[in-house]
Amino acid sequence: MDTPPDSDVLVTHEPIWSTIRNQMMEYNDSTILPEILQNADDANSKEITFILDSNSYGVNSLIRHPKHGGRDPSPLQVPSLVIINDSVFKEKDWKGISLNGTGSKQKDVNAVGKFGRGFNSVYHLTDCPQIVSGQTFYMPDVLGKYYPPCADGNGYSQRYEYLTSLDDQFEPFRVHGCKKDEKVFNGTMIRLPLRTDDSQIGVAKTVEDVKELFQRFIAMGPYSILFLRNVRKMTLIVDGIKVFETEAEQAGDMTAKINTIKDFLSNISKIIRGQDTLEQFRHHLGQQNWSGFPVVHYPLGVRSHDFESGLVSSSKWLITLGYHYSPTIHDIINHKSMKTTKLIPTAGIATPLKHDPNFRGRLFCYLPIGTMTTNLPVHIHGYFYTTSSLLSFSSKIANLGSS
């Protein structure tokens, strides 16, 4: 077998696995699918598919190098969770993945995510994610066990073409849509080989564990895309069989109105590019005409199909989204305890257009916050200061004092 070319310089610096293990305490395994959904929304994806693949694959033609004979990717040819979306990684996305644990979104005012560490939740399932996007594939081998390192540390990256030349290495991607005769994959595919034995990072996981994650996610499914800015369709598949799908039914000028909301932040970020983003962002917010902050309203239909139970549900909503600024908001986001915290004065309401006596309003920060409900007849979205896992509110809000 030919010796593989050296890795491009897209690396995971050591020692990183201990950082990831510590950060995983902030995220339980229930956050994996919501975090990946949120990342897809930040990447402007319109569709996302989660696939549980219980197949194992061949181990002959894999990425190996004679100088690193102790590194063997064979244990990764096992059942996996595969995620596919229709956007392609940009340079900042690759950088965010390779700089595990540093938080690439903390100063990105255009990103839904607050912390930029959510991708690390995947390490609850795997020791080595495998990512194909555009013309690049990347294996962030944080344990240094599976793939040849590059000059600057662990993590193997090469052109998509090289991946297609290794039949066994490529097969888990081919069966889910990657083409052998093409030089790029027009989207992003993330494969999470399930950890078969306990490691320094976490405990072993099984196909049944992922099925349980799917069931918990399905319970959130009909509400998950109400306040997202880009994702309009989400599908869950188990071994080639579709088990759940939810899709937004776009109406009228909804896209134009959502773009009005997105452009407001985008225009500010263009002004402050290359500066201390959060400080300048707060400054420019304060300089805006407070009465001119955009607020939009649009109808939204959501259709969900649980294929296992046969249940099909349709709901119609009036969505209100916008930004607001006031002296109180100004005091909060400029409070000394919030100096390094991204807080954006955005809010939204999802009002059901059909009466349901069993309806219970929920709180959202783009996605539902935990399982908490309210006594309100609507769902409320806000840039609440939540924990990293989006399961509850952060205790840091207690430090705001009179603000």
Range of the domain at 203: 17-248
Q: What is the pLDDT along the chain (403 residues), one digit of tens a residue?
A: 567 776 665 555 446 777 777 776 766 777 889 989 999 998 999 999 999 999 999 999 999 887 877 799 999 999 999 999 999 998 888 887 877 655 454 545 555 554 346 788 899 999 999 999 999 999 988 888 999 887 667 788 999 999 999 999 999 999 999 999 999 999 999 999 999 999 999 999 999 999 999 999 998 888 899 999 999 999 999 999 999 999 998 767 888 999 998 888 888 777 776 555 777 777 777 776 667 789 999 999 999 999 999 999 999 999 999 988 888 887 887 787 777 777 788 899 999 999 889 899 999 989 888 888 888 999 999 988 766 555 656 544 444 444 3
- 44 with 76, same domain: the answer is yes
Question: 81 and 123 in contact (C-beta within 8 Å)?
Answer: no
Q: Is residue 11 part of a domain?
A: no
pTM: 0.87
pLDDT on residue 142 = 87
Number of Cβ within a 10 Å radius of residue 248? 20
In the chain, what's the furthest Cα-to-Cα distance?
A: 68
Question: Does 85 lie in the same domain as 47?
Answer: yes
In contact, 183 and 177? CB cutoff 8 Å: no
The answer as to whether 157 is a domain residue is yes
Residue 180 included in any domain: yes
| pLDDT given at position 51 | 98
Three-state DSSP at 383 gives: coil
Q: What is the CATH number for 181?
A: 3.30.565
Check if the beta carbon of residue 155 is closer than 8 Å to that of residue 64.
Answer: no
Q: What pLDDT does 151 receive? A: 67
23 has which bridge partners?
Answer: none
Verify cis geometry, omega within 30 degrees of 0, for the bond prior to 15. Answer: yes
* Position 3 in a domain: no
For residue 5, tell me if it sits in a domain.
no
- The answer to whether residues 79 and 48 belong to one domain is yes
Domain end: 224, 248, 272, which one?
A: 248
305 SS3 class: strand
Q: Are residues 183 and 270 in the same domain?
A: no
* Size (the chain), residues: 403
- The per-residue pLDDT for 282 is 77
| Both tokens assigned to 380 | 């409320």
| Counted domains in the chain | 2
Q: Are 224 and 258 part of one and the same domain?
A: no
77 and 211 inside one domain: yes
pLDDT value of residue 37: 94
Whether 2 is in a domain gets the answer no
Determine, yes or no, domain membership for 265: yes
Q: Are residues 178 and 148 in the same domain?
A: yes
Same domain (yes/no): 170, 244:
yes
Domain limit, last residue, from 182, 217, 248: 248
Domain check: are 187 and 164 in the same one?
A: yes
Co-location of 195 and 306 in the same domain:
no
Host H or E run for residue 52? strand 47-53
Give the pLDDT confidence score for residue 393 in this predicted structure: 60
The verdict on 241 and 297 lying in the same domain is no
Per-residue pLDDT at 4: 75
Domain boundary among 248, 282, 313: 248
Give the pLDDT score at 247. 96
SS3 content of the chain, % helix, strand, coil (to 5): 30, 25, 45
Same domain, 264 and 130: no
Which residues in 54-152 belong to E strands, given as ranges?
80-85, 130-134, 136-139
Domain-embedded: residue 10: no
Question: Which helix (H) or strand (E) element contains residue 190?
Answer: strand 185-193
CA-based Rg of the chain, rounded to a whole angstrom? 22
